[in-house]
Amino acid sequence: MKDKIIYIRGVGVIGWPLAGLFLSLKHFLPEYKIAIEPYKITAENIYHLQYLTDRGATLVETEENGARQIEKNHRFTSIIPEEDIHTSCEILLDCSPPTIAEKRMTEYNKDNFPNCKAFIAQGSEHRFGKQLLFPDNTQILDNTRDTLFHISTCNTHTLAAILRLFNSTRVKISNVDFVILRRDADMAKNDPHVTGPLFQFPEGKHGTHHARLLNELYATVNQSYPITSSAMTINSPYMHITRFRIELEKEIKREQILESIHTDPLLSITSQISSNMIFSSGRERGEFGRIFSHAVFVAPSLEVNDNIVRGIAATPGDSNVLISTIYSTLKILGHERINDVMRDLYKKVLKNI
Angle between helices 338-347 and 322-333 (to 10 degrees): 170
Q: Give the bridge partners for 92, in sequence order.
A: 7, 119
* Chain centroid, CA 46 distance in Å: 24
Interval 51-110: pLDDT, tens: 999 999 999 988 877 776 765 566 777 788 888 899 999 999 999 988 899 999 999 999
Taking a C-beta distance cutoff of 8 angstroms, is the pair 98, 124 a contact? yes
> Where do the domains of the chain lie?
4-151+321-347, 154-315
Amino acid in position 215 = N
Number of residues that make up the chain = 353
State yes or no: pLDDT of 229 exceeds 60: yes
Q: Where are the alpha helices (DSSP H) in the chain?
A: 15-24, 46-54, 67-70, 82-88, 100-103, 154-164, 209-219, 254-263, 275-285, 322-333, 338-347
Round the average pLDDT of the chain to a whole number and report it.
92
pLDDT at position 236: 82
- As a whole number of angstroms, the distance between CA 97 and CA 329 comes to 20
State yes or no: pLDDT of 2 exceeds 90: no
Q: What is the pTM of this model?
A: 0.94
- As a whole number of angstroms, the distance between CA 343 and CA 133 comes to 17
Amino acid in position 311 = G
Q: How far apart are the first and last CA of the chain?
A: 46
State yes or no: pLDDT of 142 exceeds 90: yes
Question: What sign has the CA pseudo-torsion 261, 266, 269, 273?
Answer: negative
pLDDT at position 210: 96
- Mean pLDDT lowest among 73-77, 136-140, 288-292: 73-77
Q: Does domain 154-315 have CATH number 3.10.20.740?
A: no
4-151+321-347: CATH number: 3.40.50
Q: Which helix (H) or strand (E) holds 251?
A: none
State yes or no: pLDDT of 179 exceeds 80: yes
b or e along 53-91 (b: 16 or more beta carbons within 10 Å of the residue's beta carbon)?
beeebbbbbbeebebeebeeeeebeeebeeeebbebbbb
Q: Which helix (H) or strand (E) holds 184?
A: none
Q: Could you tell me what percent of the chain has a pLDDT over 90?
A: 74
Distances from the Cα of 73 to the Cα of 16, 76, 87, angstroms: 22, 10, 29
4-151+321-347 and 154-315 agree in CATH topology: no
Q: Give the bridge partners for 80, in sequence order.
A: 60
Q: Could you write out the DSSP letters of every residue in 271-302?
A: ---SHHHHHHHHHHHSGGG---SSEEEEGGG-
Taking a C-beta distance cutoff of 8 angstroms, is the pair 260, 327 a contact? no
**Could you tell me the pLDDT band of residue 328, with boundaries at 50, 70 and 90?**
very high
